[in-house]
Amino acid sequence: MRSAVRPYSIYSDTVAKMESFIPAEFDLNHKGSSEEAQKRWRDAVGKLVKNRRRRFRYAADLEKRSEAKEQMRRLRENIRVSFVAYTAALRFIEAGQAMKPPSAVGSGASRSNEQDIASELGTGLKEDARLAGFRIDPDKLATIVSSYDIKTLTKLKGIEGLAARLNVSLDEGVKSEDVATRKNVFGPNLYTEKPSKSFWMFLWEAFQDVTLMILIVCAVVSIGVGLATEGWPKGMYDGVGIILSIFLVVMVTAVSDYKQSLQFKELDKEKKKIFIQVTRDGTRQKISIYDLVVGDIVHLSIGDQVPADGIFVKGYNLLIDQSSLTGESVPVNIYEKRPFLLAGTKVQDGTAKMLVTTVGMRTEWGKLMETLSEGGDDETPLQVKLNGVATIIGKIGLAFAALTFLVLTARFLMDKWLNHKLSKWNSSDAVTLLNYFATAVTIIVVAVPEGLPLAVTLSFAFAMKKLMSENALVRHLAACETMGSATCICTDKTGTLTTNHMVVSKTWICGKIKEVDASSSVGALDSSISGAVLKILLQAIFNNTGSEVVKNKDGEISILGTPTEAAILELGLHLGGDLDEQRRMCKLLKLEPFNSEKKKMSALVILPDGKLRAFCKGASEIILKMCDKSINADGEPVPLMEEQGRNVLDVINGFANEALRTLCLAFKEIDDGFHGNSIPDDGYTLIAVVGIKDPIRPGVKEAVQTCLEASITVRMVTGDNINTAKAIARECGILKNDDLAVEGPAFRHKTPHEMGLEIPRIKVMARASPSDKHVLVKTCRSLLREVAAVTGDGTNDAPAMHEADIGLAMGIAGTEVAKESADVIVLDDNFSTIVTVAKWGRAVYINIQKFVQFQLTVNIVALMISFISACASGSTPLTAVQLLWVNLIMDTLGALALATEPPHEGLMKRPPVGRSESLITMAMWRNIIGQSIYQLTLLLVLNFSGKQILGLNGPDATVVLNTLIFNIFVFCQVFNEINSRDIDKINIFRGIFGNWIFSGIIVSTVVFQVIIVEFLGTFASTVPLKWQLWVLSALLGALSMPIAVLLKCIPVTGKRNGARSDGYERLPSGPGLA
């Protein structure tokens, strides 16, 4: 056995070097390829592209992208200059107001100036806008915000004056019946997009194939010469046959490309579905950003993208990242004296309400978006690599085509010279040479595999559409490809592994643990709590929150906000509290929203008696450290002794061990007034500890097990208590006995070497900040060479998602900033969906390998049969029309059949594809060469000895034999297409009837082959065959299937640990052969 394997091993090592011929220019990084690298691979493709418009349809247009960058630079510079001028004007106004005597304010000159400004802003306003109550021109309003015109805004009496001119109440918001009028006057919040291509444009692009154009010229010349020599209609059959074949190829290609474009268009619509909270008709509600109108009151919070230009109404600690517009990385503080907000900027911190003033293409962001849409998306590494494969094969095919034409021409001239007719030429000689040339050009059509790079796009489009139906929105094509190679997934806990439907199930108040039953009566829980304690608890719940309790038209209560906040507000409502009543009693001075770095949220309020009180809630251990007192049963603060502190910590750990998420609520009396810019961080009084239940999602445990079987490591990264994290991780099957659970603060202080040693065992990281997640992902990729996928939902998760090979944002809990940074949006926030994405990623890669195997086999056989026949006999058995049909089978139809195979469970029982693993594996080369040898041997034997073997004689023997060779060749491809459904496994029929696209294409190919041979022989140079020859064709084609079984029994080198690519055990060899 050893001696039998060794020669094959030597051969396979030699064949493996073929992929090394692909130039280095075609090897791109999975993320962040430079523009120079993209230019290099385009240059490496050279001129050997049959149809540049089609081949590079989905490639980024680098010229337009360069123009867009320049335009973006100019826009950013204009915005930056306006911002600098605005800052200077603001300082000038503040200085002037400080120097101006009080009597000067509101003078007659000032009133006159205001009237002039008002009159100027109202000019140009249409009559219907005036009738609707608007008193400001849309373009002039847009200029106020985009140019940061603080002077004009001040003269309009600020935000109240502007709201009056827009006929809107800052408290009630826009009325629903006014929305249509506002869209008509001020425009919709939509951006200009490139118009979609029509089907006729795709038809035109498919026709731009240079080789097809040459063939049409040949066909026209053939018709002209044929009519002159053979008359009507016989003389035009060959030429018309070529034209009809070209029309069929162009039509099928255009239909396939058009459907593909419709799929991408549908996915683009899904990508743009962004929702924002607004106040309309006096109630807070969620609407699409594209339904926003001028006058809307928008609620902004951390992670939101500002959806339109507007003016700050009120808010707390609003910090805006303007880098997307200005290029400046330093965030800007927005408040009453600096109120301008621009569309496309991002909320880095704080909360606010904004009055929308400008929408759509009147905003600077709208102009920028129009520019950015011109450049297109970057190609994926697999697309680029297949362009390299296509280039190499194309050069080989071009050489064979040229050699075939030269050999045919040389033999033709030799025959004329031997027959002493070299000086005698007629029209039939011209037709013969023209046919030789057409055959050579058709060989180029077959040999240059334009379909290879486009098959990737087709497979991506199919996978993305299917993933969309399974709650995963793929934003970047490369993510489909890369996810199949993922070796680790760093996942959040809350909402991803758990349901994110949170309820407070336990509390610790005044030294006692109490169960909370949401179904019990209101008084059941608070009966044991004194009125004073309940009053402080309700104040802490309702004043220190960024969420809202709203009622719909039917009076049903719902909570708008994060699940954690919703759980605590539900507790407050359960205790008989009322959010509106608390807010009327206490005036909110300052709010510091929760973020994942501080792990706490704070508020400062003025109580009804005029005193100041700060409230704080957040991670239990952090809040507990800030407390030096706790409240007793009478609601009085008492010192928090060390022993009592340990008892509270035991309570926290007890809750955490029950898989409860723990939070502490605390308050602090501020007696000496509030002088600083931040709320105090110490001296608090502990009110309560709450334990929030968040159950594990159904199916998560099975999904984690699937990952482990697929050699994908799952790591939980959470901000929760380590005991809570460990309890959840054990329940999910993530944390085993020998695995490590660490805390973020301890991890971040380790050296890179220590991290590299520990990370393989780390399965849980608790109390982790976004920077800890970033360091973990970076170390996994750089030191351990892992392909890392990471989930994120917050603004601060963006760096980790950028660093990862695949960033996965949560569709429900995720902020717009997180979604914008992601490659894939998990619409249902479910870990099982992430596993589905990984499965489809593997399917895409395997499907492309199947198509490459199938197409290379057809290429090799078509080239070799044409060349050898030309050299040996001076003619080729396959005509131009027949080769065009073969090209259609292996290119567009082959890609549709093989690149759209759905994944099977076996894909998740094999290791992921390595970063440096060869696209064309040893197993693929084994199948390609084995099938090529069989088909070439069969066709060459028939070509040279077919008449004798089959007993064909008579005047039509040659054309019958050539028809049979064509028929057998097509049937070989049909059965080899079925063989290609699985590169390694013998059972190739699994799921074949579940894939209607594949089954339909196989049946259609056979039916059309019958039509060509039996009814279109005049154009295709075929004759009808006897039923015995049809049976022979099918049997010889089907013989490739047992040959495929034998080939798959031949062991190949290069597999890790001897495992097969689909997770099945290797077949026994030798006497025990299965």
Mean predicted confidence (pLDDT) in 431-446: 74
Mean predicted confidence (pLDDT) in 339-343: 89
Catalytic status, residue 296: no
- Which range is least confidently modeled, 117-121, 391-395, 785-789, 953-957? 117-121
- Return mean pLDDT, the chain: 80
Tens of pLDDT, residues 942-952: 988 888 998 88
* Band of residue 1067 on the pLDDT scale cut at 50, 70, 90: very low
Q: DSSP code of 173?
A: B
User: How confident is the model at residue 296, as a pLDDT?
Assistant: 93
Residue 763: helix, strand or coil by DSSP? strand
Rounded to an integer, what distance in angstroms lies between the CA atom of residue 567 and that of residue 549?
Answer: 12
Sign, Cα dihedral of 102, 108, 112, 113:
negative
Mean predicted confidence (pLDDT) in 341-348: 87
pLDDT(235) > 70 = no
User: How confident is the model at residue 16, as a pLDDT?
Assistant: 45
Mean predicted confidence (pLDDT) in 836-861: 88
Tens of pLDDT, residues 196-222: 778 888 888 777 766 677 667 766 766
* Band of residue 797 on the pLDDT scale cut at 50, 70, 90: confident
Task: Mark residue 414 as left, alpha or beta (left: phi above 0; alpha: psi -120 to 50; beta: remaining).
Answer: alpha
Structure tokens at 871: 């050299």
Task: Please give, one letter per residue, the 3-state secondary structure of 67-127.
Answer: HHHHHHHHHHHHHHHHHHHHHHHHHHHHHHHHHCCHHHCCCHHHHHHHHHHHHHHHCCCCH
Tens of pLDDT, residues 249-281: 778 778 877 877 777 777 777 777 788 889 998
Structure tokens at 351: 């909360």
Higher pLDDT, residue 106 or 130: 130
Rounded to an integer, what distance in angstroms lies between the CA atom of residue 606 and that of residue 545?
Answer: 15
Task: Count CB atoms within 10 A of the CB of residue 515.
Answer: 11
Those residues whose C-beta lies under 8 Å from the C-beta of residue 1012, and which sit 6 or more positions away, are 885, 1020, 1022
pLDDT(150) > 70 = yes
Residue closest to 379 by CA, chosen among 44, 37, 53: 37
Tens of pLDDT, residues 118-131: 566 656 677 777 88
- Which range is least confidently modeled, 486-495, 588-597, 664-673, 983-992? 588-597
Sign, Cα dihedral of 222, 223, 229, 233:
positive
User: How confident is the model at residue 444, as a pLDDT?
Assistant: 74
pLDDT(78) > 80 = no
Tens of pLDDT, residues 637-684: 999 988 888 999 999 999 998 889 899 999 999 876 666 667 888 899
Rounded to an integer, what distance in angstroms lies between the CA atom of residue 811 and that of residue 825?
Answer: 6
Residue closest to 182 by CA, chosen among 313, 286, 296: 296
Those residues whose C-beta lies under 8 Å from the C-beta of residue 60, and which sit 6 or more positions away, are 38, 375, 376, 377, 378, 379
Mean predicted confidence (pLDDT) in 8-36: 54
* Band of residue 81 on the pLDDT scale cut at 50, 70, 90: confident
Burial class (CB in 10 A: 0-12, 13-18, 19+), 333: exposed
Tens of pLDDT, residues 169-198: 998 899 989 888 998 888 898 877 777 778
> Is 477 in contact with 460 (CB distance < 8 Å)?
yes
Residue type, 458: L
Higher pLDDT, residue 735 or 15: 735
User: How confident is the model at residue 561, as a pLDDT?
Assistant: 76
Highest average pLDDT, of 13-22, 208-217, 335-344, comes from: 335-344
* Band of residue 2 on the pLDDT scale cut at 50, 70, 90: very low
Rounded to an integer, what distance in angstroms lies between the CA atom of residue 108 and that of residue 1041?
Answer: 97
Mean predicted confidence (pLDDT) in 487-515: 87
User: How confident is the model at residue 105, as a pLDDT?
Assistant: 45
> Is 973 in contact with 938 (CB distance < 8 Å)?
no
> Is 631 in contact with 536 (CB distance < 8 Å)?
yes
Those residues whose C-beta lies under 8 Å from the C-beta of residue 560, and which sit 6 or more positions away, are 277, 284, 286, 547, 548, 550
User: How confident is the model at residue 845, as a pLDDT?
Assistant: 87
User: How confident is the model at residue 1071, as a pLDDT?
Assistant: 38
Rounded to an integer, what distance in angstroms lies between the CA atom of residue 871 and that of residue 892?
Answer: 30
Higher pLDDT, residue 431 or 1039: 1039
Mean predicted confidence (pLDDT) in 515-531: 66
pLDDT(1035) > 90 = yes
pLDDT(1061) > 70 = no
Rounded to an integer, what distance in angstroms lies between the CA atom of residue 505 and that of residue 519?
Answer: 11
Rounded to an integer, what distance in angstroms lies between the CA atom of residue 1067 and that of residue 524?
Answer: 68
* Band of residue 1059 on the pLDDT scale cut at 50, 70, 90: very low
User: How confident is the model at residue 910, as a pLDDT?
Assistant: 86
Mean predicted confidence (pLDDT) in 409-421: 78
* Band of residue 762 on the pLDDT scale cut at 50, 70, 90: very high
User: How confident is the model at residue 396, as a pLDDT?
Assistant: 80
What is the pTM for the complete model shown? 0.77
User: How confident is the model at residue 989, as a pLDDT?
Assistant: 87
Mean predicted confidence (pLDDT) in 815-827: 83
> Is 1062 in contact with 982 (CB distance < 8 Å)?
yes
Angle, in degrees to the nearest 10, between helices 210-230 and 427-447: 160
Largest CA distance in the chain: 125
Q: Compute the C-alpha angle 265/269/273, nearest 5°.
A: 165
Torsion of the alpha carbons at 978, 980, 985 and 991, rounded to the nearest 10:
-50
pLDDT(10) > 70 = no
The two counts, helices (H) then strands (E), for the chain are: 41, 26
Sign, Cα dihedral of 909, 914, 919, 922:
negative
User: How confident is the model at residue 232, as a pLDDT?
Assistant: 72
Those residues whose C-beta lies under 8 Å from the C-beta of residue 991, and which sit 6 or more positions away, are 902, 904
pLDDT(454) > 50 = yes
> Is 182 in contact with 357 (CB distance < 8 Å)?
no
Residue type, 583: R
Highest average pLDDT, of 333-337, 360-364, 634-638, 664-668, comes from: 664-668
Which residue out of 137, 238, 492, 772 is catalytically annotated?
Answer: 492
Structure tokens at 411: 């033999």
Facing residues of 662 across strands? 691
Rounded to an integer, what distance in angstroms lies between the CA atom of residue 167 and that of residue 169?
Answer: 7
* Band of residue 1029 on the pLDDT scale cut at 50, 70, 90: very high
Mean predicted confidence (pLDDT) in 78-103: 63
Structure tokens at 32: 């962040």
* Band of residue 1054 on the pLDDT scale cut at 50, 70, 90: low
Cis before 912? omega within 30: no
Residue 806: helix, strand or coil by DSSP? strand
Share of residues in the chain with pLDDT > 90 (%): 17
Structure tokens at 491: 């996942």
> Is 379 in contact with 845 (CB distance < 8 Å)?
no
User: How confident is the model at residue 593, as a pLDDT?
Assistant: 84
Residue 617: helix, strand or coil by DSSP? strand
Rounded to an integer, what distance in angstroms lies between the CA atom of residue 458 and that of residue 461?
Answer: 5
pLDDT(867) > 60 = yes
* Band of residue 59 on the pLDDT scale cut at 50, 70, 90: low
pLDDT(370) > 50 = yes
| Ordered alpha helix ranges (H), 911-1016 | 922-950, 957-979, 996-1015
DSSP 880-936: HHHHHHHHHIIIIIHHHHHTTPPP-GGGGGSPPPPTT--SS-HHHHHHHHHHHHHHH
> Is 18 in contact with 922 (CB distance < 8 Å)?
no
Q: Cα-atom radius of gyration of the chain, to the nearest Å?
A: 36
* Band of residue 355 on the pLDDT scale cut at 50, 70, 90: very high
* Band of residue 508 on the pLDDT scale cut at 50, 70, 90: very high
Mean predicted confidence (pLDDT) in 389-408: 80
Higher pLDDT, residue 430 or 315: 315
Residue type, 31: K
Higher pLDDT, residue 1060 or 454: 454
* Band of residue 14 on the pLDDT scale cut at 50, 70, 90: very low
Mean predicted confidence (pLDDT) in 87-97: 63
Mean predicted confidence (pLDDT) in 918-938: 90
